[in-house]
Structure formats: structure tokens, C-alpha cells
Structure 1
Amino acid sequence: MTRTIGSARDILGDESVRAFVAAQLSGEDLDGRRICVIVPDATRSCPLPMLMSALHEALHGRAAAVTVLIALGTHAPMTDAQLRDHLGGPYPGFTVRNHEWWEPSALTSIGTIPAARVAELSEGRMAQDVDVVLNRAVVEHDVCLVIGPVFPHEVVGFSGGNKYFVPGVAGPEIIDFSHWLGALITSASIIGTRGITPVRALIDAAAGLIPSRRLALCLVVQSGTGALHAMSFGEPEQAWAACADVSAETHVRYLDAPVHTVISIVPEKYDDMWTGAKGFYKLEPIVADGGRVIVYAPHITTISAMHPEIETIGYHCRDYFLKQWDRFRDQHWGVLAHSTHLRGAGTWDPVGGERPRVTVTLATGIDEHVVRGANLDYLDPASVDLADPAAFVVPNAGEVLFRLR
């Protein structure tokens, strides 16, 4: 049974949140169990110190062991100092670990989704066996408890729930596969889509192979503040669905007409373009054909420390890769997916070349030759007028989705 408190119009107080966490966990069979708690990294707004404190009160001395696993996907690992700030604490009896997606010994296969089933789930877009490889902690504990927010998302529709397993604590191959499936649909088409998208269907099928019991505390966070609008607890599929309904009310803004120029101000929690690109994803739908998105992030000085090949491949629309697949099929599909997500919609043919729908301009701390070499436009951030009356300026970009009515 799924239990929910709050709504799009509410802000939950700390006492209400703590009481909800205590009540839900007291009703579960967790005594003497080994529990893996899966939480987001710092690229998501989430009041984790308060939630972790409530969790510690509910589980300390009750669970046999608690491992807190940071769902990095393929993001960079967090340092000890970053983890202290991110989680609060210390929490005696809790072990905290990064998801070591780059380390084969930290991963294990839990089964295979056969090609025929993949074809069904992907609505015919892809058809090959998918090996479901996850962090070993997922199978070495009796219970997996996901704690994390739900936002509109460029790959899956709305984030959260089982997405904390895949891609959150998965191996790089299945991460690449799921992201490329989303790229085939395109970010602009799938972002903010309610219900079970093809990527969500794949993720749910993968999570269904996990032998441990799965629970989720899903959250709807007020973007930029960490305050909570709503929380839902239960099996991941149902808890996620309840919060996705609230997120659709909370995290989507509608405009009556497209705009020509957007200045997307990216917050410092995104420390490279790999993560900071969310400042483009959430705004692409409102930009007029031939318009421009200026991604303003002077603090970002690299495209991706973990995926440097993106500087060589560059940013291109989906069809650039699909119509030259023999050239690109052996590249990491997750890198190709990220490339298409930040370049946005467009077309490519061997005669006319690439025709992007909008212009993407980086006003960051990344060197101009790197930006232009990656097939994006460059602008000195010092020259950007954040009060430009001719531009649609969006502060704290990356979590709230903007769409046309």
C-alpha cells in the first residue's frame, strides 16, 4: 500500500516529515534486516540531512546493517567532505559508499531482459538482450530503500523511483542502453511525459529482477529550496507514480507563445556541462525555430571529466548519428545520447549537412576552442546581460520544465 502526504500546494514542516518517515518505517518488517539505502548525489535538490537524520532515528539499533549508496549513474564520485555536506551526520552504524560504476568488481549481473521483451518495451526501437548489471550492494542486502526526488526528466519522462536502480546504481552498459533509447525518442518529446514511457518500462523491468525487497520514499521538492511539497512511501512503482502526479503540477511552467532567446542561469550544484546541460533540456520546448539558448554558467570549466570523449564527438542532433550509424555504433551510447540531448532537435543529410532547430551557446568557463570544437557556440560570460529585456531569463535552471500550452 502506498501512503502519501502533501500536495503541489503544500510545504511540509520538518516535524511532519520526520513523523511520516518514522510511521512508515515502523510499519515495515525491517528488524534484523540488512538495508541498502539509495540516495541521489548533489545534482538533485533534496533535504537529505534532515531525511537521513529521520532515517537514522528509525533504523539505528533495529537494522542489522545499513549501507547508504550514492546513486551516481556515471557522474563523478563525491569526496568525503562533499558527502558530509550532502548527507549531514555522522550516522553511527551507517556505512556510506559511492556507486563505483567504473569498477567491475563492484558490479554484478542479476539477469537478462531478452531481445523480444526489449523490442516490446521499447515499442520496436531496439531489440537486443540487455544484461542487467547493478551494484553488488543491491543484492547483498535484504531490503533496498530508495530515497529521492521526482522531477521532469529528459530520458525517462519523470525521474525517481526505480530510476535510482537504473541508471542510478547500474553498470555503464545498461546505463548507455537506457539513455540511447531515450535519445531515439528525443529529449523534447519525452521530457515531462507522464505514465510509463518506453524507458520507464525498461527500467521497471530491470528493477523487477532484483531479488531483494524494494521500497521507496519518493519526494516532490520545491526546486532551489529543498523544502518538500509531498512524499510518498511504498513499492517504487506506486510511490513514484504518486509523486510524478504532484511533480507535473509543481515543476512544469507553461508559456502561451515561444520565445526567441533564453538565458538559462545554471546553479553551481552542476559542476560540469554533462550535468549542467539540464539547463538546456528544460527550456528547449519553449524556444522558437531559429531561436537561441544561452547556457550561462561561469563556474563550469569542463564539459565532462568522466566522459572526455564528448569533446571529440561533439554535440549533434539525433539524425546525425542515426544516418551515420556505422561511424558511431561503437561509441558509448550514453555519450551519444548526451550529445543529442544538449544539441536538441534537428536534421542531417549527407548533402545539406546538419540543420539544428535552435542555437546552443555556452557562456561558461570552458575555453572557447573547446566549446567551438564540440560544435556549440561560444559567448564570454562577462558579456551576458542577465537583465536583457529581450531575453527570457531563467534563474536556477535545470529542474523546472518550461513548455508551450
Structure 2
Amino acid sequence: MILAVGRKERAIDKKEFEGLCEKAISKCQLEGKRILAIIPDSTRTVPMPVLFKALCNSLSQEAKKLDFLIALGTHSPMNDQEIDRHLGINKEERKGPKNVEIFNHRWNSQKELRKIGLIPREEMRKLSGSLIDKDVPVLINKRIFDYDQLLLIGPVFPHEVVGFSGGYKYFFPGISGPEMVNLSHWLGALLTNPKINGIEHNPVRELINRAASFVTIPSISFCLVMRKNRVQGLYVGNPIEAQE
């Protein structure tokens, strides 16, 4: 784990959170790298303005490239005004000192996707408790292959489909093709909500982590614990370890 800070009695205020973000980033050894930060859209509760500015300020001189990809899943693309509001920036600040680019994921655009693997039928039967009996192709936004470091940023909340959000969920279904979007939700429905929601280890999370094993680009997760709009914790490291 690169950084692990949690507060039960009090929230982490903005100044402390900024310092923690900068400390974590400095420990990630990102100098000279092409970095893609995969971030939530505005439907998720997370202090993206602080995170966005911390990343830009910390990496503007060290990273070779820094861009952001919004993990929409099947949500509608965000327009420029929505993105600016989500990140707490204006038009002039959008590109920053290193020409930062911000992209929407488009799950239904085949030209933006690449197949990176296949989960075979036998493995799917075992993983799903015989609920799914077919080969599952694994497709992901091909933009990730233009970078040599991925940052997965988002909150960890109880979730009705995967048990808890965060971690590799920002790959699948966050920036995946329709196959993983549909399958993860269908498997969650077959298992039923009481056996998924708030359950740390479950077949849907196992499916997501298995699909993520096909992604060979190094990845670091910034997982936040939120209480309403207040930050209670920040855990940075391997996506599985940080999310758990």
C-alpha cells in the first residue's frame, strides 16, 4: 500500500486531503510517464476538483503526459460545461500547463474498444456457480494503450451489482464494452441483491478482477471513503488491496 489514511471520529478537511493527495502522488514514482487518470462522472460523490488540481499541480513538471478518461459505463457523455463543473475548472484552466486532455468513454463505439482477452466457458461456469455458461470476450477502451501508467480514482461505497464500488470497477464496466457491462449486471441480478450489496467477496467482483488481469499496463488506485460529502479515508495502492 502506498498510502492508507482513515478517520472515524472526524472528516479529513480540504487542506489535509490536498496534502495526502500530493504525498501519495509523490510516492507513486510517476516521473517521465504518460499517465491516464480514469475518473468517475458527476453521479459519484467524490471531491474531483481537489483531486484534479492535485494531479495537475504535482505532475505538470514530472509526467511526460497527463490525461483524464471519464469512466461512464453506459451513462451519457458529459459536455464541456458539465466536465468543467465536475472538475472545478474554467475553460482556461482545462488544459493546464501540459495540455491536459479529458475524454468521455463511449461503451457502444466499437472503434474505441479493443479485445484484450476471453474468459472461457468453463471458467465462467465455475466463477458464476453455473449461472453463466458461455465464453465472455473482454473489451476495453483502447485509449489506455497510449499510456504507460493508469490511475483509477473513485469512492468505495456499497454497490448493488458488485458489492462495493471502486478499484477495477473503473475498468469493468467503467471503460469496458457492452459484453462486460451486460454480463456483470446480469450476474448480479441472478445472484440477487441480498447476496451482493455490501458483500466484499462475491462472484461479480471476482469476474471484474479476472477481466482486469488482461490489462497489462501498471495501475494504481486512489480509493476514497466518503460519508455524505466528507472524506473519511484515502487508500492508494494496488487496485485490489486499496479497494478492499
When normalised by structure 1's length, the TM-score is 0.57
Match of 1:186 in 2: 192
Letter in 1 for 2:143: A
What is the Cα deviation at residue 23 of structure 1? 1.5
In structure 2, relative to structure 1, the CA distance for the partners of 1:9 and 1:121 (3 Å cut) is farther
State the Cα deviation string for residues 72-103 of structure 1 (Å, max 9, x = none): 00011111100000012324121101001121
Find the residue that maps to 1:177 and give its secondary structure: helix
Partners of 1:33 and 1:129 in 2: CA distance = 35
Among 197, 203, 218, the residue aligned to 2:208: 203
Distance in 1 (alpha carbons) for counterparts of 2:20 and 2:14: 10
Give how far 1:31 is off: 1.4
Q: How does 1:217-236 map to 2 (within 5 A)?
A: 217-223=222-228, 225=229, 227-236=230-239
Instruction: Tell me how far apart the structure 2 counterparts of residues 3 and 44 of structure 1 sit (CA, whole Å).
Output: 22
User: Once superposed, what is the RMSD of the aligned Cα atoms?
Assistant: 1.3
- Partner of 1:102, secondary structure, is coil
1:70: which partner in 2?
70
CA deviation map 1:289-312 (0-9, x unaligned): xxxxxxxxxxxxxxxxxxxxxxxx
Shift in Å, 1:188: 3.3
Give SS of 2:194's match: helix
Flag the structure with larger Rg: 1
**1:118 aligns with one of 116, 124, 138:** 124
Q: Distance in 2 between matches of 1:151 and 1:8?
A: 16
Is residue 2:31 matched to residue 1:31? yes
Whether 1:105 and 2:111 are equivalent positions in the alignment is yes
Amino acid at match of 1:231: L
1:31–1:62 Cα contact (<8 Å) kept: yes
Q: Would you say the 8 A contact 2:2–2:28 is kept in 1?
A: no
Q: Structure 1 residue 237 and structure 2 residue 240: aligned?
A: yes
1:210 deviation in Å?
0.4
After TM superposition, where is structure 1 displaced by more than 3 Å over at least 4 residues in a row? none
CA distance in 2: counterparts of 1:219 and 1:62, whole angstroms: 24
Query: 2:159–2:197: 8 Å Cα contact kept in structure 1?
Result: yes
2:8 and 2:112 map into 1 onto residues whose CA distance is 39
Q: Please give the alpha-carbon distance, in whole angstroms, between the structure 2 residues aligned to 1:82 and 1:62.
A: 28
- Give % identity: 39
Q: How does 1:5-404 map to 2 (within 5 A)?
A: 5-89=5-89, 90-91=93-94, 92=96, 93-194=99-200, 196-223=201-228, 225=229, 227-241=230-244
Whole-angstrom CA distance in 1 between matches of 2:134 and 2:25: 39
Q: Where in structure 2 are there 5+ consecutive unaligned residues?
A: none
Is 1:2–1:238's contact at 8 Å kept on the other side of the alignment?
A: no
Amino acid at match of 1:4: A
In structure 1, the gaps of 5 or more residues are: 242-405
SS at match of 2:58: helix
Higher relative CO (Cα under 8 Å, sequence separation at least 6) belongs to 2
8 Å Cα contact 1:139-1:211 kept in structure 2: no
